[in-house]
A = this chain, B = another copy of it.
């Protein structure tokens, strides 16, 4: 469920603010998800709220955490240490969310050997060894588009189960591997499309883009 991270963030804030309970209506306001959908989502999560009162924040947070697998830390390998890769490697945002950047890979000898955000950049030749060493199930591809497909294949072969592709290409994923692509330029193009045409009130589109499915 793509909205789990949004609930997670919202609940975290509510918990810090000391709130004991939330109603689906309140969650609706802070997440931008309609109240019926919030209830459906949470019920789907197997969670029990109390009628007349709402949900117990801490209990609900615990459930969302478990569903998201935040009980443990997921090691993430970043491939391609250009400016985008570097930005990700530095992002303090990750650790709070069950993700930890444990290895950085690049092909440029100028970059290999340096450290970004406290992690050393290794040569992409060592990809297989690094994935194995870190037992990484997740990788981020922030390379030029031309290199992405073959690296995705190598990552898959090395045992990675999910890849976040930031290169502007459609990847053909290996069997058993999940690929999610985020193309920021495409995102902007879509916004330009809508934003420029709409003269009247508009709607918000959040979460990070529509999705297309391919078989693998």
Q: Which of A148-181 contact B (CB under 8 A)?
A: 161-165, 168-173, 175-181
Q: Is the CB of B33 within 8 A of A192?
A: no
Q: Which of B10, B176, B180 contacts A205 (CB 8 A)?
A: B180
A133–chain B nearest beta-carbon distance, Å: 18
SS class of chain A's interface: helix, strand, loop or mixed? mixed
A84 to B82, CA, bound (A): 11
Task: Indicate the size class of the contact surface on chain A.
Answer: 35 or more
Across the interface, which residues of B come within 8 angstroms of A31, CB to CB? 170, 212
A212 to B90, CA, bound (A): 28
Stoichiometry, copies per complex:
2
Q: Is the CB of A207 within 8 A of B196?
A: no
Given the interface pairs A68-B193, A190-B4, A195-B161, the reply to whether A211 lies near B207 with Cβ below 8 Å is yes
Interface centre among A172, A190, A201, A208 (most CB of B within 10 A): A208
Q: Is the CB of B191 within 8 A of A178?
A: yes
Asked if A198 is an interface residue, CB under 8 A from chain B, the answer is yes
Proximity string of chain A (186-216) to chain B, C-beta cutoff 8 Å, 1 when within and 0 when not: 1111111111111111111111111111111
Across the interface, which residues of B come within 8 angstroms of A182, CB to CB? 182, 184, 187, 208-209
Given the interface pairs A4-B189, A68-B192, A189-B97, the reply to whether A200 lies near B176 with Cβ below 8 Å is yes
